[in-house]
Structures are given as structure tokens and as C-alpha cells.
């Protein structure tokens, strides 16, 4: 009998993770109208790598998933016990694990346009048979994106125009919602913060007043802008 590592008497075939026959009819479809690539990796299950292309309401991205398995340690002298997971469990895990924890996502009426359907569906079939689900996903996603824009406006104001306070998702939200008038949509690298001569805090050099100590650090720019200050 062969041995494995430091455990004499342990046969190789007992520790090998070989899946039982898979039900070919156990399929579910994950649908995404989020214009962003999704890569979900779950290292504890097999298979555990899931890739979904960027999608839109006009052309949703789909990923058909089957069942997966994980293995439980029972005894050193016993084979690993396979725990099968259905395709619905896998699809639900992909959606929840990606969306849970995202800024402004409440997993109910405000979340990315990501959902799943039991069974194997093509894009054409989803558009034909599931228009209500697509419409619901779009409404939830637009509310989520609008909230990201609102938060970005607040962070831009509170950080005195620091481009590092704006997330890539907020910039994506403006593109989807067709909002092009936001001052924070510019290149984040194009602006370098400088230190205020009065308090030493970082400030945006395009504005004459320090957002931290409220000192007028650029009087010439303040005069050009013809600013009026309350006494």
C-alpha cells in the first residue's frame, strides 16, 4: 500500500477528490446587465471559477452553471466525503457573494443588475421569456448607480475635490446614467494635491480656499473668480 506524506498507511485513492456522476440536467443561468466583467473564485469548491462578461439591458451577459462539490474530512483512514451543491446554490452564491458588501447595495431594491434563473437559457430566450426580470434588474441597478453618484458628490465635496475619493463604480454609474456634468469625471491622475501653506492639509490647487482651515491661500484666483465672502 502506498503512503502519502507523513501519514503511513494512507492510500492515495482514499484522499483523491473524484466527483461522483454529475446530473447533466442540473443547470442554472446567471444573467448580468452590469457593464463590468465579473470574476468569482471560490477555492473551496470544484469547479469554483466563474467568469461573466460585461452586459447591458440590450445584450445581457449569461453564464450557465452546473453543480459543484466540496469535500469534508471524515477520518484519516476514510475517503473524503463529497458534499454536492446544486446549480441553484452555485448561482445564488455567485450573485450574493459579488453583490454583498458593495457600496450602496442593499440586496433588495438597490443592487447591480445580476440575477439567476433555474435552467439553461440563451440571451434570446431570456429576452423573449423573461422581460419582467430584466426590467426589474434594470430598475434596481439604476437606483444603485444613482446612489453611487450621490455618494460620490458628497465625497468630492468633503474631500475638497480629491479624485482618490471617487470610485470606478461611480464613474461607471455616470456613463450608464448619461451624466457628463460631474466635476469629478476627469482623469484622477491629472490633478495633484498640494499642501495648504496655512495648515499643511492637502488641498486642490484649482480652488483658492483650503477646505480644512478655510484660509484664502490663492488671493489672485479668488479675485479672478470674483468671490464674495460672508463677514
Are the beta carbons of 146 and 153 closer than 8 angstroms?
Answer: no
Residue 149 included in any domain: no
Tell me if 161 is assigned to some domain. Answer: no
27 and 109 part of one domain = yes
In a domain, 5, yes or no: no
- In a domain, residue 221? The reply is yes
Name the most confidently modeled range: 77-86, 136-145, 177-186, 189-198: 136-145
In a domain, 202, yes or no: yes
Residue 126: per-residue pLDDT: 97
pLDDT tens by residue, 151-189 = 999 999 998 788 888 999 999 999 999 998 898 987 654
In a domain, 70, yes or no: yes
Residue 62 lies inside a defined structural domain of this protein = yes
- DSSP code at position 123: H
> Is 167 part of any domain?
no
Most confident of 71-75, 103-107, 196-200, 226-230: 103-107
Rounded distance, CA 136 to CA 32, Å?
12
- Domain total in the chain: 2
CA 88 vs CA 64, 94, 191: distances in Å: 11, 10, 47
- The DSSP secondary-structure symbol of 174 reads H
Write out the residue range of the structural domain in which residue 77 sits. 13-130
160 Rama class: left (phi>0) / alpha (psi -120 to 50) / beta: left
Residue entry with cell 470574476: 39
Query: Do residues 55 and 36 touch, judged by C-beta distance below 8 A?
Result: no
User: What local confidence, expressed as pLDDT, does residue 15 receive?
Assistant: 66
pTM of full prediction above 0.85: no
Last residue of a domain, one of 130, 159, 178: 130
The whole-angstrom separation of Cα 166 and Cα 196 is 22
Amino acid at each position: 500500500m502506498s503512503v502519502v506524506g507523513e501519514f503511513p498507511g494512507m492510500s492515495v485513492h482514499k484522499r483523491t477528490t473524484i466527483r461522483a456522476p454529475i446530473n447533466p440536467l442540473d443547470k442554472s443561468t446567471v444573467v448580468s446587465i452590469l457593464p463590468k466583467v465579473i470574476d468569482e473564485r471560490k477555492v473551496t469548491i470544484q469547479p469554483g471559477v466563474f467568469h461573466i462578461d460585461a452586459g447591458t439591458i440590450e445584450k445581457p451577459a449569461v453564464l450557465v452553471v452546473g453543480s459543484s462539490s466540496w469535500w469534508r474530512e471524515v477520518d484519516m483512514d476514510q475517503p473524503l466525503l463529497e458534499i454536492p451543491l446544486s446549480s441553484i446554490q452555485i448561482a445564488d452564491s455567485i450573485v450574493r457573494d459579488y453583490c454583498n458588501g458593495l457600496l450602496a447595495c442593499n440586496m433588495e431594491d438597490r443592487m447591480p443588475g445580476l440575477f439567476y434563473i433555474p435552467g439553461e437559457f440563451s440571451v434570446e430566450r431570456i429576452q423573449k421569456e423573461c422581460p419582467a426580470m430584466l426590467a426589474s434588474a434594470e430598475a434596481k441597478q439604476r437606483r444603485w448607480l444613482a446612489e453611487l453618484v450621490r455618494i460620490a458628490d458628497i465625497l468630492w465635496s468633503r474631500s475638497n475635490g480629491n479624485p482618490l475619493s471617487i470610485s470606478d463604480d461611480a464613474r461607471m454609474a455616470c456613463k450608464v446614467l448619461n451624466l457628463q456634468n460631474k466635476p469629478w469625471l476627469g482623469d484622477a491622475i491629472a490633478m495633484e494635491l498640494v499642501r495648504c501653506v496655512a495648515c499643511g492639509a492637502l488641498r486642490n490647487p484649482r480652488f483658492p480656499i483650503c477646505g480644512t482651515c478655510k484660509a484664502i491661500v490663492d488671493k489672485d484666483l479668488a479675485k479672478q473668480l470674483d468671490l464674495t465672502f460672508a463677514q
